[in-house]
Amino acid sequence: MNAGAIRILLVEDNPGDVDLTREEFAATETSHEFDVVTDGQQALDFLRSPGSPRPDLVLLDLNLPKLDGKAVLREVKSDAALRAIPIIVLSSSKAESDVRAVYELGASCYVPKPVDLEGFERVVRAVEQFWFNVVKLPSR
Amino acid sequence: MPDFIDTLLDTDGFPARWHCGNWTDPHGWVHVCSDIAIFSAYMCIPAILTYFVFRRTREALSPIFWWFGAFIAFCGVGHLLEAVIFWHPVYRLAGLNKMCTAVVSWGTVLVLVPTARQAMRWRSPAELEDEIAKQTALFRDLYDEAPDMYVSVDAKSGRISQCNETLVRRLGYGKDALVGMRVMELYDSTSRPEAQAAFEQFLKTGRVQNVELVLKTKGGEKIDVSLNVAAVRDEHGRITGSRSALRDITATKRAEALFELAVEASPNPMFVTSTGGTIELANAACEMVFGYSREELVGESIDTLIPESLPSVDREKQVGTDRSKARAMGEGRAQSVTRKNGSNFPAQVEFNPIETPDGTLVLCAVVDLTELVSKQRDLERSNAELEQFAYVASHDLQEPLRMVASYVALLEKRYRGRLDEGADKYIAYAVDGATRMQAMLRDILEMSRLGAEDRAFETVSLDDVLEEASQALAMDQSGATVNAEALPTVLGDRTQLARLFQNLLSNALKFSGDEPARIEVSAVLTPEGWEVRVRDHGIGFDPKHGGRIFEVFQRLNGRDEYAGTGIGLAIVRKIVQHHGGRVWAEAQTGEGAMFCFTLPRRELDS
């Protein structure tokens, strides 16, 4: 449905999770490219810098150093130039208050981080199915 | 006939007896004198009898008496006439008299027969005297052996006129010494003024009731007694003497003294108050704990120390209306109690109504709970910290564990069969370890969340909850049967009770053995509350493990045989404890198991 490789901005401070995400997405059939930043401030800098490629999709962890995920979300969604970008929040928190806050701040959806590899595989496959194949992403 | 009457005194045709036959003088005179004597005697007898009987009974004489009198009179006259005939042969008069005598005699016989029959029934004087003696002995016995001491006193002299054996024995004086003794001497000198006052009151009113006095025995022993006096009056109503009963109340007095001693010696402050709350007595501990002196306390209202500010306290209602059970004020809650210096401390206050001869009094006990309360607070804080710690630890531990589990799984996926056999095995162990640890952390998280939850209890239908749990486990699909009797509606936390049933049912399912699970759920009402039983017919377990199985992470079977971390029953226990009940299990290996838990009665249970 979407032409060309999909660009994903991964905002994640845990290198283990970064590799895991790359690993699992590599197993999918859709062509995609990852940009990785490891804290909230870097994420905003990346998105605002004219030199960096604009991502089609952002995978955002909530638990980040410097600026946490919710702050990033707030910033991005109040920035007219950036707010159209769909943001998927990935977080190990199951707290109802976090979930609610994330949706209220304008994230596209909240995905609880799976606890095991199998779960992770399922999530990635689902993301691929839905976001790459079902959904029409806004053009860059 | 009229001829006969006219000629009654006629002596014609008959000779005087002297001239009728060869009467010698002595022979004749024997007849005459005897007849005269008989006549006079016969006249005297009725006269004497009438006189004496009349004087004794002053009643109308019975008919038999008159008949008999008449009979004797006629007989007497008959004999007189026999004597008279010696000179004046008044045979006609004599004949008439004889006829009358005959009639009266037979009349007497006829009247006598029934009377005689009646007389057979009368008792002889000996029998009557015997009867009287027996009755007298009976009453004498009652009097003498009465449990109380009886004394009769002459009102004028104040001396004892009569007393029973009980008094004699108890006081040690002989009967002779007592009769004639001044009654005041029976009393101990300390008691005499009151005894004197009682006596004076008696002389005025004729009655004395329940006056407590002290007697003194011959040996000097003092006896506490309760005196009751009734008056003996003459025909004009004046008091001539008294009848007194003295009851030994030493036992009662001793009990009272013991009670006072016990109250005084109690380490807890104790008060005796009226039903209105006015302090009448305070023990030594009151002075120490509250800082008031006893004099300051007596007469004060107990509200000074124990404020009525607690909304649930209505002391009058509590004490005045329901005396069948004494209740603890505050019912287990610590209540604030004020000292003289204004400081407060937490205490448990209990009110017990006690019946005394002087009316209802209230016994209050105050137990200082300061230490208990502070220890409880420490415990609560420590518990809260521990639970918080468990929550945080298990929550934060999940992250690094996720890394381990995921990457080992990735290793397994990528390198399975590519490294040597050993590597495959090692990786498998690592994966297994990580997975298990993740499961245990989730369980610990759940346990600590259970402790943190403090939702208010609501009415929960156990039938509904059981149904929910069955459905959540898809019981009917696995071929399992759950037979439930009508379960009660109770007060509890719905979510937790659902979890409880789910855990028990899932265990029953898991350990059902080769056959499909057969589970029976029932509830029985006991004095403790509802006792719920979940019985299965699975593999059971050795009863000696009955205690262990409720421990956290305790498993009775190998990991390879049955899955699970072993926290299911620990969670069940925690939930039951949260509801105030107990849980236990009964089982035999191979014969299934029965898990029982109690849910204590609460108000609003149905």
Instruction: Please state the three-class secondary structure of A17-65 as a single string.
Output: HHHHHHHHHHCCCCCEEEEEECCHHHHHHHHHCCCCCCCCEEEEECCCC
In this prediction, residue B308 carries a pLDDT of 58
In this prediction, residue B320 carries a pLDDT of 41
Reported as half-sphere exposure (CB side, CA atoms, 13 A), residue B173 has a value of: 20
Q: Is the pTM of this model over 0.90?
A: no
Residue B484 pLDDT greater than 90, yes or no? no
Report the alpha-carbon angle B283-B285-B291, nearest 5. 105
Answer whether B406 sits within 8 Å of A120, measured CB to CB: yes
**DSSP class of residue B286?**
H
Nearest CA in chain B to A23: B410
Question: Torsions phi, psi of B326, nearest 5?
Answer: -85, 140
Q: Where would I find the beta strands (DSSP E) of B234-358?
A: 239-248, 270-274, 279-282, 327-329, 335-338, 344-356
**Which of A116, A120, A123, A124 has the highest number of chain B CBs within 10 A, making it the mutation to test binding with B?**
A116
Nearest to A16 among B403, B409, B438 (CB): B403
pLDDT tens-digit readout, B289-300: 888 888 888 888
Cα separations in angstroms, A63 against A101, A103, B118, B525: 14, 16, 127, 52
Residue B603: pLDDT band (50, 70, 90) is low
pLDDT tens-digit readout, B224-270: 999 999 998 888 888 899 999 999 998 888 888 898 888 888 899 99
**Which of A21, A22, A115, A123 has the highest number of chain B CBs within 10 A, making it the mutation to test binding with B?**
A115
Contact status, residue B482 vs residue B536, Cβ threshold 8 Å: no
Q: Where would I find the beta strands (DSSP E) of B421-559?
A: 458-461, 481-484, 489-492, 518-526, 529-536
Burial class from Cβ neighbours inside 10 Å (0-12, 13-18, 19+) for residue B88 reads middle
pLDDT tens-digit readout, B322-357: 333 444 444 555 677 888 888 888 888 888 888 877
ipTM (interface pTM) = 0.77
Nearest CA in chain A to B409: A117
Q: How far apart are CA B561 and CA B437, in angstroms?
A: 18
Chain A residues in contact with B436 (beta carbon < 8 A) = none
Residue B307: pLDDT band (50, 70, 90) is confident
Cα separations in angstroms, B285 against B263, B294, B334: 9, 10, 19
pLDDT > 90 fraction of chain B, expressed in percent and rounded: 17
Nearest to B407 among A16, A92, A113 (CB): A16
pLDDT tens-digit readout, B53-90: 777 776 666 777 788 888 888 899 999 998 888 888 88
Answer whether B402 sits within 8 Å of A115, measured CB to CB: yes
Distance from CA of A11 to the nearest CA of B (A): 17
pLDDT tens-digit readout, A110-129: 999 888 888 888 999 898 88
Residue B470 pLDDT greater than 70, yes or no? yes
Chain-centre distance of CA B248, in angstroms? 23
In this prediction, residue B501 carries a pLDDT of 93
Q: Is B406 on the interface with A (CB under 8 A)?
A: yes
- Higher pLDDT residue, B407 or A116? B407
3-state SS, residue B605: coil
HEC secondary structure over B117-136: HHHCCCCCHHHHHHHHHHHH
Q: Please provide the average confidence, as pLDDT, over all residues in chain B.
A: 84
Residue B27 pLDDT greater than 80, yes or no? yes
In this prediction, residue B335 carries a pLDDT of 73
Q: Is B452 on the interface with A (CB under 8 A)?
A: no
> What average pLDDT does this structure show over B141-151?
91
Q: How far apart are CA B483 and CA B471, in angstroms?
A: 14
In this prediction, residue B61 carries a pLDDT of 62
Nearest CA in chain B to A94: B395
